[in-house]
Amino acid sequence: MVFNFDQLADRKSDNSKKWDREFNEGYFGKLPDEYISMWIADLDYEITPIIHKKIEEIVDKKTYGYIYFYDELFEAIKQWQGNKSDFSLNNEMISLNFGIVSALYVTVQAFCREGDSIIINSPVYNPFRVAAEVNHIGVLENELEVDQEYRYQINFKNLEELIVEHQPKIHILCNPHNPGGRVWSKEELQKIADLCLENNVILVSDEAHADHINQGQFTSALSLDKKYTDNLIVLNSANKGFNFAGLKMGYNIIPNPDINNLFKQQLKKQGILEPNIFGAAALCASYTNEGKEWLEASYDYMVQNYDWASSYLSQEVPELKITPLDSTYLMWLDVSSLGMNGDEVVERLAQEEGILFQPGSSFGQAGINHIRINLGTSKEVVQKSFRKFADWCQKNKR
Ligand SMILES: Cc1ncc(COP(=O)(O)O)c(C=O)c1O
Protein backbone atom coordinates (compact mmCIF):
# COMPACT_ATOMS: atom_id res chain seq x y z
CA MET A 1 0.00 0.00 0.00
CA VAL A 2 1.20 3.52 -0.75
CA PHE A 3 0.87 6.08 2.03
CA ASN A 4 1.11 9.81 1.54
CA PHE A 5 3.11 11.40 4.34
CA ASP A 6 3.47 14.65 2.41
CA GLN A 7 -0.16 15.38 3.15
CA LEU A 8 -0.71 16.41 6.75
CA ALA A 9 -3.75 16.33 9.00
CA ASP A 10 -5.11 19.70 10.12
CA ARG A 11 -4.00 19.87 13.75
CA LYS A 12 -4.55 23.55 14.53
CA SER A 13 -8.25 23.10 15.18
CA ASP A 14 -8.32 20.00 17.39
CA ASN A 15 -7.17 21.29 20.82
CA SER A 16 -3.83 19.67 20.13
CA LYS A 17 -1.05 20.34 22.65
CA LYS A 18 1.32 20.45 19.72
CA TRP A 19 -0.54 22.93 17.52
CA ASP A 20 -3.13 24.91 19.49
CA ARG A 21 -2.13 28.59 19.58
CA GLU A 22 -3.41 29.44 23.03
CA PHE A 23 -1.85 26.38 24.61
CA ASN A 24 1.49 27.02 22.94
CA GLU A 25 1.55 30.71 23.77
CA GLY A 26 1.25 29.66 27.42
CA TYR A 27 4.43 27.68 26.92
CA PHE A 28 6.50 29.71 24.44
CA GLY A 29 5.16 33.29 24.82
CA LYS A 30 3.53 35.36 22.06
CA LEU A 31 3.86 33.66 18.68
CA PRO A 32 3.87 35.27 15.21
CA ASP A 33 0.79 34.83 12.95
CA GLU A 34 2.37 31.82 11.24
CA TYR A 35 4.09 29.13 13.26
CA ILE A 36 5.34 25.56 12.86
CA SER A 37 5.26 23.21 15.83
CA MET A 38 7.97 20.56 16.14
CA TRP A 39 8.20 19.89 19.85
CA ILE A 40 6.02 17.27 21.64
CA ALA A 41 6.44 13.69 20.30
CA ASP A 42 3.21 13.58 18.30
CA LEU A 43 3.09 12.98 14.53
CA ASP A 44 1.38 15.27 12.03
CA TYR A 45 0.21 12.39 9.80
CA GLU A 46 -3.32 11.10 9.52
CA ILE A 47 -3.95 7.96 11.57
CA THR A 48 -2.99 4.58 10.09
CA PRO A 49 -5.82 3.45 7.71
CA ILE A 50 -6.39 0.15 9.54
CA ILE A 51 -6.84 1.99 12.85
CA HIS A 52 -9.23 4.45 11.25
CA LYS A 53 -11.26 1.58 9.82
CA LYS A 54 -11.56 -0.19 13.19
CA ILE A 55 -12.61 3.01 14.92
CA GLU A 56 -15.14 3.75 12.20
CA GLU A 57 -16.66 0.31 12.75
CA ILE A 58 -17.30 1.20 16.40
CA VAL A 59 -18.67 4.62 15.48
CA ASP A 60 -21.02 3.03 12.94
CA LYS A 61 -22.43 0.72 15.61
CA LYS A 62 -23.26 3.78 17.75
CA THR A 63 -22.62 1.99 21.07
CA TYR A 64 -19.80 2.88 23.42
CA GLY A 65 -20.42 0.81 26.55
CA TYR A 66 -17.93 -0.68 29.03
CA ILE A 67 -15.53 -3.23 27.64
CA TYR A 68 -13.07 -5.63 29.28
CA PHE A 69 -9.48 -6.55 28.39
CA TYR A 70 -10.58 -9.01 25.73
CA ASP A 71 -8.67 -11.94 24.18
CA GLU A 72 -7.84 -10.21 20.91
CA LEU A 73 -5.98 -7.56 22.91
CA PHE A 74 -3.93 -10.14 24.79
CA GLU A 75 -3.19 -11.99 21.56
CA ALA A 76 -2.16 -8.82 19.70
CA ILE A 77 0.25 -7.85 22.50
CA LYS A 78 1.72 -11.35 22.80
CA GLN A 79 2.28 -11.55 19.07
CA TRP A 80 3.87 -8.09 18.77
CA GLN A 81 6.10 -8.65 21.77
CA GLY A 82 6.92 -12.14 20.47
CA ASN A 83 8.58 -10.47 17.48
CA LYS A 84 10.86 -8.55 19.83
CA SER A 85 11.98 -11.28 22.22
CA ASP A 86 11.70 -15.03 22.83
CA PHE A 87 10.12 -14.45 26.20
CA SER A 88 7.05 -16.60 26.72
CA LEU A 89 4.30 -14.21 27.74
CA ASN A 90 1.02 -15.23 29.32
CA ASN A 91 -2.15 -13.21 29.91
CA GLU A 92 -1.62 -12.99 33.67
CA MET A 93 1.57 -10.99 33.13
CA ILE A 94 -0.18 -8.36 31.03
CA SER A 95 -2.19 -5.52 32.53
CA LEU A 96 -3.79 -2.31 31.37
CA ASN A 97 -2.52 1.23 31.66
CA PHE A 98 -3.97 4.51 30.42
CA GLY A 99 -0.73 5.27 28.57
CA ILE A 100 2.77 4.60 29.90
CA VAL A 101 2.76 7.83 31.87
CA SER A 102 -0.11 6.59 34.04
CA ALA A 103 1.87 3.40 34.70
CA LEU A 104 4.95 5.36 35.79
CA TYR A 105 2.85 6.87 38.58
CA VAL A 106 1.37 3.49 39.52
CA THR A 107 4.85 1.94 39.65
CA VAL A 108 6.20 4.60 41.97
CA GLN A 109 3.14 4.37 44.22
CA ALA A 110 3.27 0.57 44.36
CA PHE A 111 6.96 0.21 45.24
CA CYS A 112 8.08 3.38 47.01
CA ARG A 113 7.17 4.98 50.32
CA GLU A 114 7.93 8.49 51.50
CA GLY A 115 11.67 8.83 52.08
CA ASP A 116 12.49 6.30 49.31
CA SER A 117 14.06 7.19 46.00
CA ILE A 118 14.13 6.10 42.37
CA ILE A 119 17.07 6.34 39.97
CA ILE A 120 17.04 7.56 36.35
CA ASN A 121 19.63 8.35 33.66
CA SER A 122 19.34 12.00 32.77
CA PRO A 123 18.50 13.86 30.64
CA VAL A 124 15.37 11.78 30.29
CA TYR A 125 11.64 11.95 29.57
CA ASN A 126 10.39 14.23 32.30
CA PRO A 127 7.42 12.19 33.63
CA PHE A 128 10.00 9.72 35.06
CA ARG A 129 11.00 12.49 37.43
CA VAL A 130 7.57 14.00 37.98
CA ALA A 131 5.95 10.64 38.83
CA ALA A 132 8.34 10.39 41.77
CA GLU A 133 8.28 14.02 42.83
CA VAL A 134 4.50 14.36 43.06
CA ASN A 135 4.49 11.24 45.24
CA HIS A 136 7.19 12.75 47.50
CA ILE A 137 9.78 10.23 46.38
CA GLY A 138 13.40 11.27 45.86
CA VAL A 139 15.02 11.22 42.41
CA LEU A 140 18.65 10.19 41.91
CA GLU A 141 20.05 11.25 38.56
CA ASN A 142 22.86 9.37 36.89
CA GLU A 143 23.97 11.83 34.24
CA LEU A 144 24.60 10.33 30.80
CA GLU A 145 27.90 11.06 29.08
CA VAL A 146 28.44 11.75 25.38
CA ASP A 147 31.03 9.93 23.30
CA GLN A 148 32.92 11.33 20.30
CA GLU A 149 29.95 10.72 18.01
CA TYR A 150 27.65 12.61 20.44
CA ARG A 151 25.97 9.35 21.42
CA TYR A 152 24.89 8.88 25.04
CA GLN A 153 26.76 6.39 27.22
CA ILE A 154 25.95 5.26 30.74
CA ASN A 155 28.54 5.96 33.41
CA PHE A 156 28.22 2.56 35.11
CA LYS A 157 30.63 3.40 37.91
CA ASN A 158 28.53 6.37 38.90
CA LEU A 159 25.32 4.38 38.53
CA GLU A 160 26.65 1.70 40.84
CA GLU A 161 27.87 4.20 43.42
CA LEU A 162 24.51 5.96 43.49
CA ILE A 163 22.64 2.67 43.83
CA VAL A 164 24.90 1.28 46.53
CA GLU A 165 24.92 4.48 48.54
CA HIS A 166 21.23 5.43 48.29
CA GLN A 167 19.49 2.06 47.75
CA PRO A 168 16.73 3.37 45.46
CA LYS A 169 13.64 1.16 45.15
CA ILE A 170 13.35 1.29 41.37
CA HIS A 171 15.48 2.13 38.36
CA ILE A 172 13.45 3.56 35.48
CA LEU A 173 15.29 2.89 32.24
CA CYS A 174 14.26 4.53 29.00
CA ASN A 175 14.82 1.74 26.48
CA PRO A 176 15.42 3.12 23.84
CA HIS A 177 16.36 6.42 25.40
CA ASN A 178 14.44 9.66 24.94
CA PRO A 179 15.95 12.17 24.32
CA GLY A 180 18.92 11.18 22.18
CA GLY A 181 17.43 7.96 20.80
CA ARG A 182 20.14 5.70 22.20
CA VAL A 183 19.40 1.99 21.68
CA TRP A 184 20.95 0.17 24.65
CA SER A 185 22.83 -3.01 23.76
CA LYS A 186 22.12 -6.37 25.37
CA GLU A 187 25.41 -6.09 27.29
CA GLU A 188 24.45 -2.69 28.66
CA LEU A 189 21.00 -3.92 29.65
CA GLN A 190 22.53 -6.91 31.33
CA LYS A 191 24.88 -4.73 33.37
CA ILE A 192 21.99 -2.54 34.49
CA ALA A 193 19.87 -5.56 35.32
CA ASP A 194 22.76 -7.05 37.33
CA LEU A 195 23.20 -3.90 39.35
CA CYS A 196 19.48 -3.81 40.06
CA LEU A 197 19.31 -7.46 41.07
CA GLU A 198 22.35 -7.28 43.34
CA ASN A 199 20.93 -4.27 45.14
CA ASN A 200 17.24 -5.14 45.38
CA VAL A 201 16.21 -2.45 42.94
CA ILE A 202 13.29 -3.25 40.62
CA LEU A 203 14.14 -2.57 36.98
CA VAL A 204 11.45 -0.69 35.07
CA SER A 205 11.97 -0.65 31.31
CA ASP A 206 9.95 1.97 29.42
CA GLU A 207 9.87 0.62 25.85
CA ALA A 208 7.71 3.38 24.35
CA HIS A 209 10.11 4.00 21.46
CA ALA A 210 10.89 0.38 20.61
CA ASP A 211 8.84 0.51 17.41
CA HIS A 212 11.18 3.09 15.88
CA ILE A 213 14.66 1.63 15.49
CA ASN A 214 16.92 3.18 12.86
CA GLN A 215 20.36 1.86 13.81
CA GLY A 216 21.48 -0.88 16.17
CA GLN A 217 19.55 -3.78 17.61
CA PHE A 218 16.76 -3.10 20.09
CA THR A 219 16.81 -5.44 23.09
CA SER A 220 13.65 -5.69 25.11
CA ALA A 221 14.40 -6.19 28.79
CA LEU A 222 12.17 -9.27 28.42
CA SER A 223 15.03 -10.89 26.45
CA LEU A 224 17.19 -11.07 29.56
CA ASP A 225 17.61 -14.25 31.61
CA LYS A 226 14.82 -15.32 33.94
CA LYS A 227 16.57 -14.12 37.08
CA TYR A 228 16.43 -10.60 35.59
CA THR A 229 12.92 -10.79 34.16
CA ASP A 230 11.79 -11.85 37.65
CA ASN A 231 12.87 -8.40 38.78
CA LEU A 232 11.32 -6.49 35.91
CA ILE A 233 8.41 -4.27 34.93
CA VAL A 234 8.04 -3.43 31.24
CA LEU A 235 5.84 -0.46 30.34
CA ASN A 236 4.60 -0.11 26.81
CA SER A 237 2.03 1.34 24.44
CA ALA A 238 1.59 1.71 20.69
CA ASN A 239 1.30 5.46 21.12
CA LYS A 240 4.68 6.49 19.72
CA GLY A 241 4.67 4.09 16.79
CA PHE A 242 1.06 4.67 15.77
CA ASN A 243 0.31 8.10 17.16
CA PHE A 244 -2.88 7.70 19.17
CA ALA A 245 -1.70 9.07 22.52
CA GLY A 246 -5.07 10.82 22.86
CA LEU A 247 -6.77 7.42 23.22
CA LYS A 248 -4.98 6.76 26.53
CA MET A 249 -4.20 3.10 26.05
CA GLY A 250 -1.15 1.03 26.93
CA TYR A 251 -0.05 -2.06 28.81
CA ASN A 252 2.36 -3.40 31.43
CA ILE A 253 4.21 -6.71 31.41
CA ILE A 254 5.34 -8.13 34.75
CA PRO A 255 6.66 -11.70 34.81
CA ASN A 256 7.11 -12.10 38.58
CA PRO A 257 3.71 -12.86 40.23
CA ASP A 258 4.64 -11.13 43.51
CA ILE A 259 5.67 -7.89 41.83
CA ASN A 260 2.71 -8.23 39.48
CA ASN A 261 0.21 -8.60 42.35
CA LEU A 262 1.49 -5.50 44.10
CA PHE A 263 1.35 -3.58 40.85
CA LYS A 264 -2.17 -4.77 40.04
CA GLN A 265 -3.37 -3.77 43.52
CA GLN A 266 -2.13 -0.25 42.83
CA LEU A 267 -3.82 -0.24 39.41
CA LYS A 268 -7.08 -0.98 41.25
CA LYS A 269 -6.47 1.79 43.75
CA GLN A 270 -6.00 4.15 40.83
CA GLY A 271 -9.17 2.93 39.15
CA ILE A 272 -7.28 1.72 36.08
CA LEU A 273 -9.73 -1.09 35.46
CA GLU A 274 -11.14 -1.22 31.96
CA PRO A 275 -9.80 -0.12 28.59
CA ASN A 276 -11.19 2.66 26.48
CA ILE A 277 -13.20 1.14 23.64
CA PHE A 278 -11.36 3.12 20.94
CA GLY A 279 -7.94 2.67 22.53
CA ALA A 280 -8.37 -1.10 22.67
CA ALA A 281 -9.47 -1.25 19.02
CA ALA A 282 -6.58 0.98 17.97
CA LEU A 283 -4.04 -1.19 19.77
CA CYS A 284 -5.37 -4.38 18.15
CA ALA A 285 -5.36 -2.72 14.72
CA SER A 286 -1.79 -1.44 15.16
CA TYR A 287 -0.35 -4.81 15.96
CA THR A 288 -1.26 -6.35 12.60
CA ASN A 289 0.54 -6.73 9.27
CA GLU A 290 -1.25 -3.67 7.89
CA GLY A 291 -0.24 -1.71 10.97
CA LYS A 292 3.35 -2.83 10.62
CA GLU A 293 3.42 -1.81 6.97
CA TRP A 294 2.32 1.72 7.88
CA LEU A 295 4.74 1.84 10.81
CA GLU A 296 7.70 0.96 8.61
CA ALA A 297 6.70 3.32 5.81
CA SER A 298 6.14 6.24 8.18
CA TYR A 299 9.42 5.64 9.96
CA ASP A 300 11.34 5.43 6.65
CA TYR A 301 9.88 8.80 5.78
CA MET A 302 10.91 10.31 9.13
CA VAL A 303 14.42 8.91 8.82
CA GLN A 304 14.66 10.59 5.41
CA ASN A 305 13.63 13.81 7.13
CA TYR A 306 16.43 13.29 9.64
CA ASP A 307 18.99 12.51 6.92
CA TRP A 308 18.07 15.64 5.00
CA ALA A 309 18.00 17.83 8.12
CA SER A 310 21.30 16.57 9.52
CA SER A 311 23.18 16.95 6.25
CA TYR A 312 21.68 20.42 5.70
CA LEU A 313 22.59 21.56 9.22
CA SER A 314 26.09 20.09 8.96
CA GLN A 315 26.67 22.31 5.95
CA GLU A 316 24.91 25.46 7.10
CA VAL A 317 25.67 25.49 10.83
CA PRO A 318 28.56 23.04 11.22
CA GLU A 319 29.19 24.03 14.83
CA LEU A 320 25.95 22.35 16.01
CA LYS A 321 26.45 18.87 17.46
CA ILE A 322 23.93 16.40 16.10
CA THR A 323 23.22 13.16 17.99
CA PRO A 324 22.95 10.15 15.64
CA LEU A 325 19.36 8.93 15.23
CA ASP A 326 19.53 5.34 16.50
CA SER A 327 15.88 5.41 17.49
CA THR A 328 12.87 7.76 17.70
CA TYR A 329 12.01 10.52 15.21
CA LEU A 330 13.38 13.24 17.47
CA MET A 331 16.58 15.06 16.56
CA TRP A 332 18.70 15.94 19.61
CA LEU A 333 21.05 18.87 19.09
CA ASP A 334 23.68 20.46 21.29
CA VAL A 335 23.41 24.19 20.53
CA SER A 336 25.92 25.50 23.07
CA SER A 337 28.39 26.47 20.32
CA LEU A 338 25.95 29.25 19.35
CA GLY A 339 26.84 30.92 22.66
CA MET A 340 23.34 30.26 24.06
CA ASN A 341 21.67 27.45 25.92
CA GLY A 342 18.69 25.48 24.62
CA ASP A 343 16.14 27.56 26.56
CA GLU A 344 17.24 30.78 24.93
CA VAL A 345 17.37 29.28 21.44
CA VAL A 346 13.89 27.77 21.80
CA GLU A 347 12.25 30.87 23.23
CA ARG A 348 13.73 33.21 20.64
CA LEU A 349 13.06 30.91 17.69
CA ALA A 350 9.43 30.58 18.77
CA GLN A 351 8.83 34.28 19.26
CA GLU A 352 10.99 35.63 16.42
CA GLU A 353 10.51 32.96 13.74
CA GLY A 354 7.46 30.96 14.81
CA ILE A 355 9.49 27.73 14.95
CA LEU A 356 8.56 25.67 18.02
CA PHE A 357 11.26 23.26 19.19
CA GLN A 358 11.58 21.68 22.64
CA PRO A 359 14.14 22.93 25.16
CA GLY A 360 16.51 20.22 26.36
CA SER A 361 16.06 21.45 29.92
CA SER A 362 12.55 19.97 29.86
CA PHE A 363 14.35 16.61 30.17
CA GLY A 364 16.27 17.79 33.23
CA GLN A 365 19.13 20.17 33.88
CA ALA A 366 21.50 17.76 32.08
CA GLY A 367 19.75 18.72 28.82
CA ILE A 368 20.19 22.49 29.22
CA ASN A 369 22.49 22.88 26.20
CA HIS A 370 20.24 20.91 23.89
CA ILE A 371 17.09 21.27 21.87
CA ARG A 372 14.83 18.47 20.58
CA ILE A 373 13.20 18.63 17.16
CA ASN A 374 10.26 16.43 16.14
CA LEU A 375 10.66 15.23 12.54
CA GLY A 376 7.29 13.49 12.35
CA THR A 377 5.95 15.85 9.74
CA SER A 378 6.18 16.47 5.99
CA LYS A 379 9.41 17.03 4.06
CA GLU A 380 8.09 20.45 3.13
CA VAL A 381 7.64 21.47 6.77
CA VAL A 382 11.06 20.09 7.72
CA GLN A 383 12.80 21.95 4.91
CA LYS A 384 11.00 25.22 5.59
CA SER A 385 11.68 25.12 9.34
CA PHE A 386 15.33 24.07 9.03
CA ARG A 387 16.02 26.82 6.49
CA LYS A 388 14.62 29.37 8.94
CA PHE A 389 16.48 27.76 11.82
CA ALA A 390 19.83 27.78 10.00
CA ASP A 391 19.39 31.43 8.90
CA TRP A 392 18.54 32.38 12.45
CA CYS A 393 21.64 30.58 13.81
CA GLN A 394 23.91 32.28 11.28
CA LYS A 395 22.52 35.72 12.19
CA ASN A 396 22.43 35.23 15.95
CA LYS A 397 25.37 33.07 16.94
CA ARG A 398 27.75 34.83 19.30
C1 LIG B 1 9.99 7.48 26.98
C2 LIG B 1 8.54 7.77 26.87
N3 LIG B 1 7.67 7.08 27.62
C4 LIG B 1 6.35 7.31 27.55
C5 LIG B 1 5.85 8.26 26.69
C6 LIG B 1 4.38 8.49 26.65
O7 LIG B 1 3.73 7.29 26.46
P8 LIG B 1 2.14 7.21 26.60
O9 LIG B 1 1.55 8.10 25.56
O10 LIG B 1 1.86 5.77 26.38
O11 LIG B 1 1.81 7.66 27.99
C12 LIG B 1 6.71 9.01 25.91
C13 LIG B 1 6.19 10.06 25.03
O14 LIG B 1 6.87 10.73 24.31
C15 LIG B 1 8.09 8.76 26.00
O16 LIG B 1 8.97 9.44 25.27
221 and 235 within one domain: yes
**Residue 314: CATH number of its domain:** 3.90.1150.10
Tell me the residue ranges of DSSP E strands in 228-308.
Answer: 232-236, 250-253
Residue 245 alpha carbon, nearest atom of ligand 1: 9
Q: How far apart are CA 267 and CA 109, in angstroms?
A: 10
182 and 313 within one domain: no
Residue among 106, 172, 178, 276 to mutate when testing ligand 1 (max atoms within 8 A of CB): 178
Q: Is residue 58 included in any domain, yes or no? A: no
From the list 222, 238, 232, the residue with the least C-alpha distance to 263 is 232
> What pLDDT score does 304 carry?
98
45 neighbors 51 (Cβ within 8 angstroms): no
pLDDT in tens, 240-293: 999 999 999 999 999 999 999 999 999 999 999 999 999 999 999 999 999 999
359 neighbors 371 (Cβ within 8 angstroms): yes
pLDDT in tens, 61-112: 999 999 999 999 999 999 999 999 999 999 999 999 999 999 999 999 999 9
In terms of DSSP bridges, do strands 330-334 and 321-322 run parallel, antiparallel, or are they unpaired? antiparallel
Per-residue buried b or exposed e for 232-255, using 16+ beta carbons within 10 Å of the residue's own CB: bbbbbbbbbbbbbbbbbbbbbbbb
Q: Is residue 10 included in any domain, yes or no? A: no
Residue among 77, 97, 100, 330 to mutate when testing ligand 1 (max atoms within 8 A of CB): 100
Residues having CB within 6 Å of any atom of ligand 1: 41, 99-101, 125, 174, 178, 206, 208, 237, 239, 245, 250
Query: Which residue, 287, 303, 322, sits at the end of a domain?
Result: 287
294 and 283 within one domain: no
So what's the ipTM on this one? Answer: 0.99
302 and 280 within one domain: no
Domain extent at residue 354:
21-48+290-393
Residue among 183, 239, 252 to mutate when testing ligand 1 (max atoms within 8 A of CB): 239
308 neighbors 377 (Cβ within 8 angstroms): no
DSSP state of 335: -
Ligand 1 centre from 43 Cα, in Å?
Answer: 13
Query: Which residue, 230, 261, 287, sits at the end of a domain?
Result: 287
76 and 32 within one domain: no
Q: What domain count does the chain have?
A: 2
Q: Name 160's Cβ contacts closer than 8 Å, sequence gap at least 6.
A: 195
pLDDT in tens, 7-37: 998 887 779 999 999 999 999 999 999 999 9
Q: Is residue 3 included in any domain, yes or no? A: no
CA 148, 366, 353, 34 torsion: positive or negative? Answer: positive
342 and 271 within one domain: no
The H or E element spanning position 119 is strand 117-122
328 and 191 within one domain: no
Q: Is residue 335 included in any domain, yes or no? A: yes
18 neighbors 262 (Cβ within 8 angstroms): no
Q: At what angle do helices 289-316 and 277-286 cross, to 10 degrees?
A: 80
139 neighbors 288 (Cβ within 8 angstroms): no
**Residue 167: CATH number of its domain:** 3.40.640.10
Ligand 1 centre from 238 Cα, in Å?
Answer: 10
Query: Which residue, 272, 287, 302, sits at the end of a domain?
Result: 287
116 and 41 within one domain: no
Q: Is residue 9 included in any domain, yes or no? A: no
For ligand 1, atom 13, the nearest C-alpha belongs to 41
241 and 297 within one domain: no
